[in-house]
Structure 1
Amino acid sequence: MNGAAQTPGERVWEQLRLEDRTWLAGLARAAGPGARVALVGGAVRDALLGETPSDLDVVVEGADVGTLAADTGLPGLVHPAFGNATVTLPDRRHADLVRARRESYPVPGGNPVPAPGTLEDDLRRRDFGLNALALLVSPDGRLTLLDEVGGLEDLRARTLRPLHPHSLHEDASRLVRGARLAGRLGLTPHPELRRQVPGALEMADRTPRLHAELRLLLDEPRPGRAARVLEEWGAGALLPAGAVERLEALDVRQDTGQRVLAPAYAAALLSAAPDPAALADRLGLGEKPGALLARARSDAPAAPGSAEAVLRALLRPEAYPVLTGRDVVALGVPPGPAVGQALAHLAALRRAGQVRSREGEQAALRTYLAART
């Protein structure tokens, strides 16, 4: 296609993987007369930004989602009560198929109540304008970009705009999701979003889904950016005091070429909490980040560049690579029980503040060995 003449729908289509285009076209044909099949949400947004989407969300109107998923011949899981299904694509990625629906929130902070609806209803129920775009794929191959709420203009302006006056009050998790998007894509908040922040904070403790979004924040490419966005929006209280700075410090390490994995970010977040175990439980982090934090706070040797070493440098800037068993053997300690005795001696000196550098430990070990000969 001539790039200059492409419609927005064609631009999205061209950004998709060939196998995803083939699969979507097959879905549209299998859905039958009168049905509509559309790729929605983040995949459309990212494709319009020039990215190749990985996650696929498909909304179906006028056809049974379970039957359509089964007809693909791909392994998957159908949830008839919710009108959705998840299929596993040949390359092991997952694609979600959902029935077009409307939603209402009888209780702010609670789960929404769904009802059957049109594709347009489904777009209008979403969180932000730039996430409410859809690529309608017709059985005959026609492509139509649906923009019910002005999402294209938001995307051009790189603006994050809630779709409803009570959007963040009804679902405070949208505030964290918005910060994740803003940090990742460099988006600016619409004035309406800023107006709704106090309402979201008011409902934060009554919105269990918010904890899941905070956990997802730790999986962002640069979690510190998303955390700083929350701070700038006046929602820093959703994180422990000092957490933003610690997460940003790990971002800096990534920016300079050092690999920092999600568990290190999770442990850094826990390090700022008055009760790390309680926070880990609320966020569903499991035991690993807490154990990592405990190792980083200990005097146990840590390999250079390891998650423990990275965290230790963050939490204890005065820390240094302590001598290991291999080091003390190289300096003259005979292998065997004497190695443990020498390491215990050095650990006692560290606790007493009598050694404060690797060189100091080496000197102290020489003194220790000389006294034993």
Structure 2
Amino acid sequence: MKREGLAATGAGDGDLAARAWERVQAEDRAWLTDLARRAGGGARVALVGGAVRDALLGETPLDLDVVVEGADAGSLAAATGLPHLVHPAFGNATVTLPGGRRADLVRARWERYPVPGENPVPEPGTLADDLRRRDFGLNALALVVGPDGRVTLLDEMGGLEDLRERVLRPLHPRSLHEDASRLVRGARLAGRLGLVAHPQLLRQVPDALGMAGRTPRLHAELRLLLGEPRPGLAARALEGWGAGALLPPGALERLEALDARQDAGQLVSPQVYGAALLSADPDPAALAARLGLGEKPGALLARALGDAPAAPRTPEGVLRALLRPEAYPVLTGRDVVTLGVSPGPAVGAALAHLAVLRQAGKVHSRDEERAALAAYLGTPP
């Protein structure tokens, strides 16, 4: 189904449940049905959150997040016979499916935030409790899977209406105060799915900005923003909501410029987006550390700002064209040999001479480099 189809069909919840279930891969439907059988009577197994949202919108592939009510998630994961890892603190498990994909099995719970911005404290709860603890209405949908493979769509928080209106609505007035990272997560969804902010979200933005410095998870969401299909769209959403201060000044324009390259058919990696974000910050190394980007984006930024040759469509070339539009393809070792430099150590000396001239601002094009090389060699240009 196309994205706009949800609002136009007027289908009942049963029809929508069937359509969403059809969007789940056949092997995943079989696995979820097997989970429901293994969970036993009185228990419930439900596909929740982003998977249900995306299935209703016709988006694929789907990440499998499963809530288990009335059964132990770790024991259920073990019963499948598949490789798994249990997380005792939350009573959850991660199962590795055939082919290497992973699915999260989550014990139904509710959460409280003793300290806003810090990790919540989980308590056992019902499936309805688990849906109420989520960030936005359209992420609080569930497909309850029966042992016979039949499914029921559960909408505790009005998420279907939000999905029809394509709106991001926090589930309670202190949602972004408790977890300011939800603001960035919302911007990621807005950019990816073409969603708009509910007035409730906009009212909570100042509170979220006030809590940003006390919410370590916000850095993880900013890192995930760089892996979105079009990070500039997510950054534009933050700016439009009055939360542009979460990014360094000038970052928005650089991310959008890279989006434009992708729109023109050129693939731009998250590493290039990361380097572009770092380039807008006065202390790139500190920002990279806060976001957990590792060393590669910073190293890429250094190469792009250097003088080593970089082909136009390489990561260095793309970033250099963005950050130094006045830059030009400098002469290479092969070029200087062609122009009369003897192979061997003389090539390195000639390139070093040209690099000094570039850094001093005495050459501004390949032609000027050729003329400077001719003068260096004492030959006519």
Is TM (by shorter chain) over 0.5?
yes
How far apart are residue 372 of structure 1 and its match?
A: 10
Task: Tell me, yes or no, if structure 1 residue 144 matches structure 2 residue 163.
Answer: no
Q: For residue 166 of structure 1, what is the aligned residue in structure 2?
A: 174
Q: For residue 4 of structure 2, what is the aligned residue in structure 1?
A: none
Q: For residue 6 of structure 2, what is the aligned residue in structure 1?
A: none
Which stretch of structure 1 is more off in the superposition, 204-213 or 289-298? Answer: 289-298
How far apart are residue 365 of structure 1 and its match?
A: 2.5
Q: For residue 334 of structure 2, what is the aligned residue in structure 1?
A: 326
Q: For residue 180 of structure 1, what is the aligned residue in structure 2?
A: 188
Residue of 88, 93, 97 corresponding to 1:85: 93
Residue of 191, 209, 216 corresponding to 2:199: 191
Letter in 1 for 2:159: G
Identity %: 78
Residue of 299, 312, 317 corresponding to 2:307: 299
Task: Tell me, yes or no, if structure 1 residue 27 matches structure 2 residue 27.
Answer: no
Q: Output the CA distance in 1 between the equivalents of 2:141 and 2:150.
A: 17
How far apart are residue 91 of structure 1 and its match?
A: 1.3
How far apart are residue 358 of structure 1 and its match?
A: 2.0
**SS of residue paired to 2:205:** helix
Residue of 113, 118, 122 corresponding to 1:105: 113
**SS of residue paired to 1:7:** helix
Q: Output the CA distance in 1 between the equivalents of 2:265 and 2:370.
A: 31
How far apart are residue 303 of structure 1 and its match?
A: 2.5
Residue of 286, 305, 315 corresponding to 1:278: 286
How far apart are residue 329 of structure 1 and its match?
A: 2.0
How far apart are residue 169 of structure 1 and its match?
A: 0.6
Letter in 2 for 1:139: P
Q: For residue 156 of structure 1, what is the aligned residue in structure 2?
A: 164
Residue of 203, 208, 215 corresponding to 1:207: 215
Q: Output the CA distance in 2 between the equivalents of 1:130 and 1:118.
A: 19
CA contact (8 A) 2:374 2:380 kept: no
TM-score, normalised relative to structure 1? 0.96
Task: Tell me, yes or no, if structure 1 residue 50 matches structure 2 residue 49.
Answer: no
Q: For residue 353 of structure 1, what is the aligned residue in structure 2?
A: 361
**SS of residue paired to 1:219:** coil
Q: Output the CA distance in 2 between the equivalents of 1:214 and 1:88.
A: 27
Residue of 317, 335, 340 corresponding to 1:309: 317
Which stretch of structure 1 is more off in the superposition, 172-181 or 333-342? Answer: 333-342
Q: For residue 95 of structure 1, what is the aligned residue in structure 2?
A: 103
Q: Output the CA distance in 2 between the equivalents of 1:249 and 1:346.
A: 31
Unaligned runs of 5+ in 2: 1-8
CA contact (8 A) 2:54 2:62 kept: no
Which stretch of structure 1 is more off in the superposition, 357-366 or 173-182? Answer: 357-366
Unaligned runs of 5+ in 1: none
CA contact (8 A) 1:38 1:137 kept: yes
CA contact (8 A) 1:17 1:52 kept: no
Letter in 2 for 1:148: E
How far apart are residue 260 of structure 1 and its match?
A: 0.9
Q: Output the CA distance in 2 between the equivalents of 1:209 and 1:44.
A: 24
